[in-house]
A = this chain, B = another copy of it.
Amino acid sequence: MKTSARNAGILFLESALEVDSAVTPSATILSWFEGRRRAHRFRLEPISFNDMVKWGFDPRTGNLCHESRRFFSIEGLRVKTNWGQVPEWEQPIIVQPEIGLLGFITKRFNGVLHFLVQAKMEPGNVNMIQLSPTLQATRSNFSRVHQGRAPLYLEQFTDRRHGRVLVDVLQSEQGARFLRKRNRNIIIETEQDLPVGEDYCWLTLGQLLRLLRHDNVVNMDARTVMSCISYALGPGASPEAVSSRFGQELWRSFQSFAAGRSSNEEIISWFTEQKFAYDLDVERIPLGTVREWVRTDTEIRHETGRYFSVIACRVEADNREVSAWTQPMVKAHQRGLIAFVVKDFDGVLHILVQAKVEPGNFDVVEMAPSVQCITGSYENEGPDQLPPFVHYVLNARPDQIRFDTLQSEEGGRFFREENRNMIVEAGPDFPRELPSNYIWMTAGQLKEFIKYNNFVNVQARCLLSSLSFIEMDK
């Protein structure tokens, strides 16, 4: 059951270098994926809150809850902080205290690690189906609260005699929407012969990284688990094919775990300073009392129509544990922008990381992308009114843009929410002086902080998973 980290890192690197596979030829993936979409019947429709089944507003608090009081609930949050421009506000928040589990089963074919990927329907997904980890489960799934079928492959994770653990860490979700929600991100390797369900297929890491360059194909849960992977050099695993300047800088960045422009200790000191400087005081309050938010028959929205709203949906699906249900969802009102600014220092690519306060954060600040904002909010504002570096990213020349796709947020809670994900290489014109809550880090350093939990937010993790030294070697 045991493995050394170095072994896992070598396996991951070898798998990342394989962009095709005899097990599932790359040429067949997208047609298989389309086939899965056509094979299933899905239906999603917004309904009024009154038409929800087993969900309702608690008469005392106005919280939106399941009758079992399990799964999740929509409650109110009062936030006070000295970070940013708004010192105090109230908002709805998703409360889901249970730790979820996001897990890939992997297995070696011809010596190369393959990931068992699921074409999974989630009600809020753009395009309904996206590629997801082998298992997405809550502890409610484990205890079968909803009395449906047990998820496939669950026993591979609960009975660990089946495999060895390659990755196993606890990570956060969106701090603007969830109150301290966390997931266990786990990758196990099995030597068993597993039956492969019709919605599943085996892909190399290289194939997954290539699919990430398509809009809305690889879901958020898969991206966050992939972000927890680190690479190690081993015999037979060397990125010799990487030849471009950018590819080499990026590869060296992945190999710089302990030091870049700042040592890990200096980054920890910078992060400690941020936590010492910024207050985040959150208080759970009844949803019915949240100021400036109004509830209609069909939505809970901000008076101004900005930010997001909470809606109710009816879902029908033929391939889920339960075939029809209703649930609340969160609907964003504007598309967001999530971007890394990256820059070469002494031949090693560095990523500009922001310490960002979000109300649901487990520990005040997390390491966030260089830019993480709702662009729609700033449409009528000049460059000076924008958050730092938004103007720079949106005005980058085409040759500076290394990655630019639309990616979805988690489809189990978010209604067709997609954000523009960008990686932009900074030119010599990029400012040398940074605001005090920004710092340059290597990809390897970010991986190291991901390993130790509660440091890197989900947007930064997912974007990091898109930084592929193979795909960007051009």
Partner-B contacts on A (CB < 8 A):
2, 4-5, 8, 97, 99, 101, 165, 167-170, 184, 186, 259, 263-266, 268-269, 272-273, 275-276, 281, 362-363, 451-455
Contact = CB atoms under 8 A, between A and B. Distances in A.
Nearest to A180: B363
Contacts of A281: 97
B272 A170 contact: yes
A129 to B, nearest CB: 28
B168 A363 contact: no
Contacts of A4: 259, 263, 265
A275 B169 CA distance: 10
A453 B364 CA distance: 13
B184 A276 contact: yes
Contacts of A265: 4-5, 8, 167-168, 451
Given A265-B5, A269-B168, A362-B363, A454 B454 contact: yes
Contacts of A454: 363, 453-454
Contacts of A168: 265, 268-269, 272-273
Given A4-B263, A5-B264, A268-B453, 14 more contacts: A4-B259, A5-B265, A99-B275, A101-B276, A165-B269, A169-B269, A169-B272, A170-B275, A186-B272, A265-B451, A268-B451, A272-B453, A363-B454, A452-B455
Nearest to A100: B276
Nearest to A283: B284
For the complex of A and B, the 4 pairs showing the least CB-CB separation, nearest first, are A168-B269, A452-B452, A5-B265, A168-B272
A109 to B, nearest CB: 24
Contacts of A184: 272, 276
Contacts of A272: 168-170, 184, 186, 453
| Interface residues of chain A: helix, strand, loop or mixed (majority) | mixed
A366 to B, nearest CB: 13
A233 to B, nearest CB: 16
Contacts of A451: 264-265, 268
A276 B99 contact: yes
A13 to B, nearest CB: 16
B362 A268 contact: no
Nearest to A454: B454
Contacts of A269: 165, 168-169
24 contacts: A2-B266, A4-B263, A5-B263, A5-B264, A5-B265, A8-B265, A99-B275, A101-B276, A165-B269, A167-B265, A168-B268, A168-B269, A168-B272, A168-B273, A169-B272, A170-B272, A170-B275, A170-B276, A184-B276, A265-B451, A268-B451, A272-B453, A362-B363, A453-B454
Contacts of A97: 281
Contacts of A99: 275-276
Contacts of A263: 4-5
Contacts of A275: 99, 170
Contacts of A170: 272, 275-276
A116 B142 CA distance: 54
A323 B169 CA distance: 49
A83 to B, nearest CB: 15
Nearest to A97: B281
Contacts of A167: 265
Contacts of A452: 268, 452, 455
B363 A268 contact: no
Nearest to A451: B268
A263 B169 CA distance: 14
A93 B178 CA distance: 27
Nearest to A259: B4
A454 B172 CA distance: 15
A31 to B, nearest CB: 37
Most B CB contacts (10 A, CB to CB) among A4, A97, A269 go to A269
Nearest to A99: B276
Contacts of A186: 272
A169 B276 contact: no
A266 B167 CA distance: 9
A259 B165 CA distance: 16
Contacts of A5: 263-265
A452 to B, nearest CB: 4
A46 to B, nearest CB: 33
